[in-house]
């Protein structure tokens, strides 16, 4: 049985539909999103919440002539479906398939790649200014979540938007959530603006009643708009956005297509910047996601009927092991405080938040602030832990360097999702942190071989009295035995796991693949010592020089970009000690952009699994005979 959605190949097809048909399409799109994400995994809650909002934009605006930028971007599934990618939607987040985020390389409808939050306003303003300089007449729209407004760059952009007064449409999607419930004064202010959902219902009912009145209905509606603006000035004095020079429209029911279409049409006629405040509900149309939007923010494959995860793998994650270690340490040290940037569940800190709420701080999507906030706490004698995904911590590069390392402030940085990350694509790969951290003065950089070593590294990081980063991967643990007592690892000391004549020096979660590769190669007469480096900075120079003998080979392995990474650090040690005759090979990821794929697929492609390591080492040794 064909549906209305079957007939939609572009936003132009949306424009010919009636409101009743649009409403039906919204249901069909939700069904499609649920069906696909239940198999591929993906961002479910946020996408179910913006279906009507997206259809309203497609009905009113002329894409791709008009430009829309999605911030963060993970809520773009409906947009992809109505912009010619419906038939490929089943390939979402798969190798060679559709990206889970806007992607300029994928479609002319995607004008800006957004995987991190708070960037859309700046880019949209740039496009609006360029449009006017070129004397073009199209519209520029930025769809920004209320969580995205916690990022500093968003407020820098709002400051400039209010100053320049360029024609620009901002759609503020208010759903009270980023990954977790939003926090902070800005969130409270937006809640204040929409407080009293009865206000929205009364407004919609009144509008419906007035429309039914012949002749006088529409004039009364136009008159009521002026009255509504006057009432807002009384009940919401000094509206923040109005004070910034941005016209404020709202709040608007984000699931009411008539209301959305009306305000979008109104916004098109505004001469300067306008902000439309839409109220939506994450997970709308699917009860499990609506009841638990955080769990379905980035869902693994699940059973549609029950909402339960399809996987039967009950192993803990590295994140949860990390979180347990922090709680254990905090029980004995009341000076330990934990900070995260809108991701307490994702970083494993939910248990800490529940047990020590007075020592837990979620700063929202504000990584730069998180780092400097921690610096202030540390200088006052506390022991802050900053837990942020590897790819997001790079947003605070200047604060890490200027405000922490130059002063040698002891802060523990937990880099979750370090290394190869599945499905989310290039913006979420944690493959650059070794390179962007190890050159910083005073910074210590560690990575565990397994979950047991991770918990010991967390304890050690608090003891070193320097800025210390512990990087660990996304995913399930190996299942090794967990020590009951945490112990401190000697600073800069590696671990010899296997004796041999040539050195295979590996960092982090490459260790087990290296041991397996060494076992394979031993059968071929290739004898490798396998050393778990533990530290990318400081390096165990004594261990490196032990194998840096004439005729020996040294091979490094890392799950990160090799340019400036762990292998480069080892090569620098050899050069410093004038070991120029050592046959050396660095194995890691080449400098490139990595699309969505499973971790196993990426490792196999770049020969970072056991088979690939063995192959690379075999070829290297064949080309460098003693």
- pLDDT recorded at residue 295: 85
Q: Is residue 56 part of a domain?
A: no
Output the CA angle 344-442-466, nearest 5 degrees. 55
- pLDDT recorded at residue 218: 55
Contact 443, 393 (CB under 8 A): no
User: Which helix H or strand E contains 141, and what residues bound it?
Assistant: strand 140-145
SS3 of 564-588: CCHHHHHHHHHHHCCCCCCEEEEEE
Question: How would residue 191 be classed by pLDDT, with cut points 50, 70 and 90?
Answer: low
430-454: pLDDT as tens digits: 999 999 999 999 999 999 999 999 9
DSSP string, 171-189: EEEE-SBSSSB--SHHHHH
| Short-list 345, 340, 344, CA closest to 367 | 340
- Out of 232, 267, 285, a domain closes at 285
- pLDDT recorded at residue 281: 92
Q: What's the whole-number mean pLDDT along residues 110-130?
A: 93
DSSP string, 371-403: HHHHHHHHHTT-EEEEEEEHHHHGGGHHIIIII
Q: Is residue 327 part of a domain?
A: yes
Q: Is residue 86 part of a domain?
A: no
Instruction: Say whether 308 is catalytic.
Output: no
Locate 413 and state its tokens. 């940085």
For the chain, what is the domain count? 3
- pLDDT recorded at residue 70: 95
| Short-list 474, 459, 424, CA closest to 597 | 424
Q: What's the whole-number mean pLDDT along residues 587-613?
A: 92
Give the separation between CA 267 and CA 278, rounded to whole angstroms: 13
Give the separation between CA 412 and CA 373, rounded to whole angstroms: 13
Q: Do 517 and 467 lie in a common domain? A: no
Q: Do 126 and 237 lie in a common domain? A: yes
CATH of the domain at 382: 3.40.50.970
Q: Do 418 and 515 lie in a common domain? A: no
- pLDDT recorded at residue 40: 92
- pLDDT recorded at residue 222: 56
Check whether 147 has a pLDDT greater than 90. Answer: no
Contact 562, 506 (CB under 8 A): no
Q: Is residue 9 part of a domain?
A: no
How far is residue 7 from each of residues 19, 298, 492, measured CA to CA in Å? 16, 29, 62
Give the separation between CA 435 and CA 376, rounded to whole angstroms: 26
Instruction: Say whether 233 is catalytic.
Output: no
**Peptide linkage before 64 cis (omega within 30 of 0):** yes
Q: Is 528 helix (H, G, I), strand (E, B) or coil?
A: strand
Q: Is residue 3 part of a domain?
A: no
Burial of 382 (0-12, 13-18, 19+ CB in 10 A): middle
DSSP category for residue 265: H
Mean pLDDT of the residues in the chain: 90
Candidates 93, 282, 353, 438; catalytic one: 282
- Out of 455, 471, 487, a domain closes at 471
16-59: pLDDT as tens digits: 999 999 999 999 999 999 999 999 999 999 999 999 999 999 99
Q: Do 542 and 463 lie in a common domain? A: no
Q: Do 105 and 245 lie in a common domain? A: yes
Locate 403 and state its tokens. 């405000």
Check whether 266 has a pLDDT greater than 70. Answer: yes
How far is residue 18 from each of residues 13, 14, 15, 25, 54, measured CA to CA in Å? 11, 9, 8, 10, 16
Q: Give the number of residues written for the chain.
A: 626
> Tokens 């995607």 belong to which residue?
110
Candidates 30, 80, 93, 395; catalytic one: 395
- pLDDT recorded at residue 237: 34
Q: What's the whole-number mean pLDDT along residues 412-419?
A: 96
Angle between helices 318-332 and 451-463 (to 10 degrees): 40
Domain encompassing residue 110: 62-74+91-285
Locate 546 and state its tokens. 């032990």
Q: Do 525 and 418 lie in a common domain? A: no
340-399: pLDDT as tens digits: 998 888 899 999 999 999 999 999 889 999 999 999 999 999 999 999 999 999 999 999
Q: Do 499 and 458 lie in a common domain? A: no
Give the separation between CA 171 and CA 53, rounded to whole angstroms: 9
Q: Do 507 and 467 lie in a common domain? A: no
121-135, 309-323, 425-439, 580-594 — which is least confidently predicted? 309-323
- pLDDT recorded at residue 227: 47
Give the separation between CA 100 and CA 75, rounded to whole angstroms: 9
Give the separation between CA 17 and CA 6, rounded to whole angstroms: 13
Instruction: Say whether 395 is catalytic.
Output: yes
- pLDDT recorded at residue 298: 80
535-585: pLDDT as tens digits: 999 999 999 999 998 888 999 999 999 999 999 999 999 999 999 999 999
Give the distance, in angstroms, between the CA of residue 473 and the centroid of all CA atoms in the same chain.
14
DSSP category for residue 494: -
Q: Is residue 438 part of a domain?
A: yes
Q: Do 427 and 565 lie in a common domain? A: no
Check whether 197 has a pLDDT greater than 50. Answer: no
- Out of 471, 505, 529, a domain closes at 471
Q: Do 522 and 585 lie in a common domain? A: yes
Check whether 231 has a pLDDT greater than 50. Answer: no
User: Which helix H or strand E contains 142, and what residues bound it?
Assistant: strand 140-145
Q: Is residue 31 part of a domain?
A: no
Burial of 294 (0-12, 13-18, 19+ CB in 10 A): buried
Q: Is residue 18 part of a domain?
A: no
Q: Do 138 and 271 lie in a common domain? A: yes
Q: Do 522 and 618 lie in a common domain? A: yes
Contact 479, 425 (CB under 8 A): no
- pLDDT recorded at residue 207: 56
Using a pLDDT cut of 70, give the percent of the chain over it.
89
CATH of the domain at 581: 3.40.50.920
User: Which helix H or strand E contains 354, and what residues bound it?
Assistant: helix 350-355
Candidates 166, 262, 367, 559; catalytic one: 367
Give the distance, in angstroms, between the CA of residue 249 and the centroid of all CA atoms in the same chain.
29
9-13, 145-149, 335-339, 585-589 — which is least confidently predicted? 145-149
Give the separation between CA 516 and CA 507, rounded to whole angstroms: 15
């Amino acid at each position: 049985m064909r549906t209305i959605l079957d007939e939609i190949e572009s936003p132009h097809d949306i424009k010919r539909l009636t409101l009743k048909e649009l409403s039906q399409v919204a249901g069909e799109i939700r069904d499609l999103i649920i069906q696909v994400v239940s198999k591929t995994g993906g961002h479910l809650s946020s996408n179910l919440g913006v279906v009507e909002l997206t259809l309203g934009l497609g009905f009113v605006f002329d894409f791709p002539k008009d430009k829309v930028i999605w911030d963060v971007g993970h809520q773009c599934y409906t947009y992809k479906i109505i912009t010619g990618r419906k038939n490929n939607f089943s390939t979402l987040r798969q190798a060679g398939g559709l990206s889970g985020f806007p992607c300029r390389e994928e479609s002319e409808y995607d004008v800006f790649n957004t995987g991190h939050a708070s960037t859309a306003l700046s880019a949209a303003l740039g496009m609006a200014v360029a449009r006017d300089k070129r004397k073009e007449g199209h519209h520029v729209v930025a769809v920004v979540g209320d969580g995205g407004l916690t990022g500093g760059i968003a407020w820098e952009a709002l400051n400039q938007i209010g100053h320049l007064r360029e024609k620009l449409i901002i759609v503020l999607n208010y759903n009270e959530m980023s990954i977790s419930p939003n926090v902070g004064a800005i969130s409270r202010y937006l809640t204040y603006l929409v407080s009293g959902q009865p206000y929205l219902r009364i407004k919609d009912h009144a509008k419906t009643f007035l429309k039914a009145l012949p002749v006088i209905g529409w004039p009364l509606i136009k008159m009521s708009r002026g009255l509504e603006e006057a009432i807002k000035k009384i009940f919401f004095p000094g509206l923040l956005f109005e004070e910034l020079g941005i016209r404020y429209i709202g709040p608007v029911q984000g699931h009411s297509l008539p209301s959305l279409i009306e305000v979008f049409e109104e916004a098109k006629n505004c001469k300067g910047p306008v902000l439309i405040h839409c109220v939506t509900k994450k997970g709308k149309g699917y009860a499990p996601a609506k009841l638990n939007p955080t769990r379905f923010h980035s869902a693994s494959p699940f059973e549609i009927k029950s909402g339960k995860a399809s996987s039967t793998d009950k192993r803990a994650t590295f994140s949860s092991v990390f979180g347990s270690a922090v709680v254990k340490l905090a029980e004995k040290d009341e000076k330990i405080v934990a900070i995260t940037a809108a991701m307490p569940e994702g970083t494993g800190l939910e248990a800490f938040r529940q047990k020590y709420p007075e020592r837990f701080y979620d700063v929202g999507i504000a990584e730069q602030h998180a780092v400097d906030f921690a610096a202030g706490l540390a200088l006052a004698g506390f022991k802050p832990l900053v837990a942020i995904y590897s790819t997001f911590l790079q947003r605070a590069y200047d604060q890490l360097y200027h405000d922490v390392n130059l002063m040698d402030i002891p802060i523990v940085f937990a880099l979750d999702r370090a290394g190869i990350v599945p499905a989310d694509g290039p913006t979420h790969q944690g493959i650059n942190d070794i390179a962007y951290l190890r050159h910083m003065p005073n910074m210590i950089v560690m990575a565990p071989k397994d979950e047991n070593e991770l918990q010991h590294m967390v304890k050690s990081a608090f003891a070193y009295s320097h800025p210390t980063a512990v990087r660990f991967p996304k995913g399930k643990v190996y299942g090794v035995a967990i020590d009951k007592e945490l112990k401190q690892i000697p600073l800069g000391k590696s671990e010899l796991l296997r004796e041999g004549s040539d050195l295979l020096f590996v960092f982090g979660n490459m260790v087990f693949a290296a041991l397996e590769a060494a076992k394979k190669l031993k059968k071929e007469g290739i004898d490798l010592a396998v050393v778990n480096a533990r530290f990318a900075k400081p390096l165990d120079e004594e261990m490196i020089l032990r194998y840096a003998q004439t005729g020996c080979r040294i091979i490094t392995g890392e799950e990160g970009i090799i340019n400036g990474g762990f292998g480069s650090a080892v090569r620098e040690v050899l050069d410093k000690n004038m070991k120029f005759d050592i046959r050396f090979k660095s194995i890691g990821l080449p400098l490139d952009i990595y699309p969505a794929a499973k971790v196993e697929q990426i490792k196999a492609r770049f020969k970072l699994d056991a088979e690939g390591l063995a192959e690379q080492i075999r070829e290297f040794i064949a080309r460098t005979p003693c």
